Structure 1
Amino acid sequence: MIIDRVDIIRVKNPFVHPFETSFVRFVERDALIVKIYSEGLVGYGECKAFFAPLYSPEDNGTCHHIIKNIILPVILHKDIEGPEEFMEKVSFIRGNNLAKAAVENALWELKVQREGKSLKTLIGGVYNEVKVGVSIGIQPKTSDLLKRIEKYLAEGYHRTKIKIKPSKDIEVVREVRKHFPDITLTIDANSSYTLDDIELFKAMDEFNLAYIEQPLAENDIIDHSVLQKQIKTPICLDESIESLEDARRAIEMGSCKIINIKSSRCGGIHESIKIHDLCMKHNIPVWCGGMTELGIGRVQNISMASLPNFTLAHDIAASNRYFDEDITIPTVNITKNCTLIVPDEKNGVNYMIDEKAIEKMMVSHDVYK
């Protein structure tokens, strides 16, 4: 397919509630949308970087630069067969996975339209619906956190994840377990600890956590291996896994027992499928992580989570969990069983882009043709 034109649109969408992790407090989703025109079709991809290099070395500014100045010369007015060929053509780019994934995701959408098949079908998904978990940011008071948990449990979420950071960790977890002794509970440290905190994580074993997500630095696969051997609670790696090779090393070193696959962090859906397959081969369960996406990225996450080894509850959630408005029609909503229906040509579930919503949220619009 010939790539005729590429638009990069920056939008801002305020959160219903501020979302705080160990490294930042977000009040809005500041995102880039990549819109690719090809032979009468239009595909959308969402860049999941943030306004600053907080979660990864990339941010919206670096991604815009990489897409405009490095990727576009490779694809604009060129014949690109699909996402797989695109990833081969940009393999010379070191890192910058979020930028590459934004374009790759749009190419998947074009492939969906060209072939008349759902993304689930194209990638070999098997689930018709996927379970949803909730991720709750750090709260000012533990009492606030308990109220949030109670609210989300009433809505039926299948797993509760709470963010922790030094000084807001074990006492918070102890209080949550006291009030909710039987729920599926996980904690996410977002790389905010070191092996100096090993006794803290040994103490966490008493709380029957489903897993501890990314306790140590993103480049500490070795240290995670040391920690996993010292604790009973499974470690789930997130930021550490950016490629198939990262996953292979982590599995061989025993650095984790679970992996959170975020397709954008791994460079796109194509690489994520490879990671999924490797984990399935080694009996490492996976789940789909969220990055407070808008509807475009959220819908693609649902489809990816239909692959067979995505057996744990996911951080995908309904759009209204984060936003009053979103950019798909319909917006993403959970079922009464707190699941998400996977878009499929057989069940007729489909999402359209709400161009008016994008225009309303738009900060800038750059056109390249």
Structure 2
Amino acid sequence: MAIDAVGITRIALPLVRPFRTSFGTQTVRDVLLVWVRDADGTPGWGECATTSAPLYDPDFTDAASLVLHDHLVPALLAGGTTVTGPQVAARLARFRGHHAPKAALEAAVWDLQLRRADRCLADHLGVTRTHVPTGVSVGIPEGGVDELVEQVGGYLDEGYLRVKVKIEPGFDLAPVRALCDTFGADLRLQVDANAAYSPEDPEHLGVLADLDECGLVQIEQPFGADRLRAHADLADRSHTPICLDESITDRWRAVDAVATGACDIVNIKVGRVGGLTEALAIHDRCLADGTPVWCGGMLETGVGRGVNVALAGLPGFVLPGDTSASSRYFTEDLTEPFELEDGHVAVRREAGASPLPDPDRLAAWTTATRRVG
């Protein structure tokens, strides 16, 4: 498959409400879309799942744009313009880090390849599910506990099967207890700290011990990404499963995390691990070891969400992912929306890796675009 053109488009897509975590607040999705095209004009699109500042992980949007333009795209094309999805990771392997832009470029090539073959990503991966179970991620609201309870009640009314709430020191036990008191044992609740707690802080450890008594589905990433031993110590004394997110950067880190007891559950994010090839490798290793996985999200538009939903259809994904409906984040998505159906989202069966951006919406929200290479 020969690539004739590559480009980067930057968009600013407003969120329906501010999304706050322990590392910052987003009101707009500032995101890069990578596109490739063949000589016949067939497009392929990929989404770069970065934030505007290097707070969640080292990647951020300005750096992703630079590394794509100056390094990744030239390296991809230097190996020959004829390239397939599985070959992208190998061509970019010599560059350290920059997982999100690598994943976006790989997804774009996959999308083009599948469109040319008139084949969908789910079929290519062997996914037999028609729908995947879906959870929802709820940020720290400005209105505190009362607003959180109201938001969670609304999401449960919509049919979400699992609720994940963001926590940080000072906003942890009170909101969790309020949710449990309000919605009872039927609420499938998990918390995500985004590495906000310190294993050296006795007060933090006390909060985590109290959370362990709340009957949570899991506690996600309480400590820093490199603190595998601290996570293993916590897992040893916790009844609640420990899930790792930021710590899982590739298949070998996943293997080490599970083998050392640092986690019981793995969150797989395509952008965080460098692309679909690596995400599939992590899934396969965890499936072979019997480690549950689920698909995390980065507030993706429909371009990135299409890849996530297809991935979440694989057999190792036994827990509801953050593959929520488009309306959870956007009044109007960049693509045709993903809809919630009885707590599930449908797996796309149209050609390509994800739905195409709507040209009018793309024009309305584009802040910059340029051709590369």
Counterpart for residue 315 of structure 1: 322
Matches within 5 A, 1:198-237: 198-237=205-244
Report the Cα distance in structure 1 between the residues aligned to 2:310 and 2:353, rounded to whole angstroms. Answer: 11
- Secondary structure of 2:65's aligned partner: helix
Letter in 2 for 1:47: C
Counterpart for residue 45 of structure 1: 46
Q: Pick from 155, 161, 184: which aligns with 1:158?
A: 161
- Secondary structure of 1:314's aligned partner: coil
Report the Cα distance in structure 1 between the residues aligned to 2:170 and 2:301, rounded to whole angstroms. Answer: 31
- Secondary structure of 1:45's aligned partner: strand
Query: For each residue in 1:324-366, what CA deviation from the matched residue of structure 2 results, as whole angstroms up to 9, or x when unmatched?
Result: 11111x211111x1211101259x9983320111110010111
Counterpart for residue 70 of structure 1: 71
Distance change in 2, residues 1:275/1:172 (3 Å): same
Matches within 5 A, 1:8-47: 8-40=8-40, 41-47=42-48
- Does the aligned pair in 2 maintain the 1:242–1:265 contact within 8 Å? yes
Query: For each residue in 1:243-291, what CA deviation from the matched residue of structure 2 results, as whole angstroms up to 9, or x when unmatched?
Result: 0011010011011111110011000011000000111111111111110
- For normalisation by structure 2, the TM-score amounts to 0.95
Q: Would you say 1:360 and 2:367 are equivalent positions?
A: no
Report the Cα distance in structure 2 between the residues aligned to 1:333 and 1:124, rounded to whole angstroms. Answer: 23
- Secondary structure of 2:362's aligned partner: helix
Letter in 2 for 1:334: L
Letter in 2 for 1:96: H
**Overall identity of the aligned pairs, in %:** 36
Counterpart for residue 56 of structure 1: 57
Matches within 5 A, 1:1-369: 1-40=1-40, 41-76=42-77, 78-139=80-141, 140-182=143-185, 183-195=187-199, 196=201, 197-328=204-335, 330-335=336-341, 337-344=342-349, 351-369=355-373
Letter in 1 for 2:34: V
Letter in 1 for 2:237: Q
Letter in 1 for 2:96: R
Letter in 2 for 1:69: D
Shift of 1:124: 2.3
Give 5+ residue unaligned stretches, structure 1.
Answer: none
Pairwise CA RMSD:
1.6
- Does the aligned pair in 2 maintain the 1:5–1:76 contact within 8 Å? no
Which stretch shows the higher mean deviation, 54-63 or 109-118? 109-118
Report the Cα distance in structure 1 between the residues aligned to 2:344 and 2:356, rounded to whole angstroms. Answer: 20
- Does the aligned pair in 1 maintain the 2:306–2:353 contact within 8 Å? no
Report the Cα distance in structure 2 between the residues aligned to 1:15 and 1:130, rounded to whole angstroms. Answer: 24
- Secondary structure of 1:353's aligned partner: coil
Query: For each residue in 1:278-308, what CA deviation from the matched residue of structure 2 results, as whole angstroms up to 9, or x when unmatched?
Result: 1111111111111011110011111111111
- Does the aligned pair in 2 maintain the 1:4–1:76 contact within 8 Å? no
Shift of 1:115: 2.1
- Secondary structure of 1:26's aligned partner: strand
Report the Cα distance in structure 1 between the residues aligned to 2:293 and 2:113, rounded to whole angstroms. Answer: 25
- Secondary structure of 1:352's aligned partner: coil
Report the Cα distance in structure 2 between the residues aligned to 1:171 and 1:321, rounded to whole angstroms. Answer: 24
Shift of 1:39: 3.2
Report the Cα distance in structure 2 between the residues aligned to 1:165 and 1:350, rounded to whole angstroms. Answer: 34
- Does the aligned pair in 2 maintain the 1:236–1:257 contact within 8 Å? yes
Report the Cα distance in structure 2 between the residues aligned to 1:174 and 1:292, rounded to whole angstroms. Answer: 26
- Secondary structure of 1:232's aligned partner: coil
Distance change in 2, residues 1:32/1:345 (3 Å): closer
Distance change in 2, residues 1:135/1:357 (3 Å): same
Report the Cα distance in structure 2 between the residues aligned to 1:214 and 1:304, rounded to whole angstroms. Answer: 22
Shift of 1:241: 0.2
- For normalisation by structure 1, the TM-score amounts to 0.96
Letter in 1 for 2:316: N
- Secondary structure of 2:90's aligned partner: helix
- Secondary structure of 1:255's aligned partner: coil
Give 5+ residue unaligned stretches, structure 2.
Answer: none
Which stretch shows the higher mean deviation, 168-177 or 196-205? 196-205
Query: For each residue in 1:141-168, what CA deviation from the matched residue of structure 2 results, as whole angstroms up to 9, or x when unmatched?
Result: 2111111111111111000111100011
Report the Cα distance in structure 1 between the residues aligned to 2:55 and 2:82, rounded to whole angstroms. Answer: 33
Query: For each residue in 1:88-128, what CA deviation from the matched residue of structure 2 results, as whole angstroms up to 9, or x when unmatched?
Result: 11100101100100100101101211222210111222321
Distance change in 2, residues 1:350/1:300 (3 Å): closer
- Secondary structure of 1:31's aligned partner: strand
Query: For each residue in 1:200-255, what CA deviation from the matched residue of structure 2 results, as whole angstroms up to 9, or x when unmatched?
Result: 21211221000001111011112111111011100010010010011010011011
- Secondary structure of 1:273's aligned partner: helix
Report the Cα distance in structure 1 between the residues aligned to 2:303 and 2:116, rounded to whole angstroms. Answer: 18
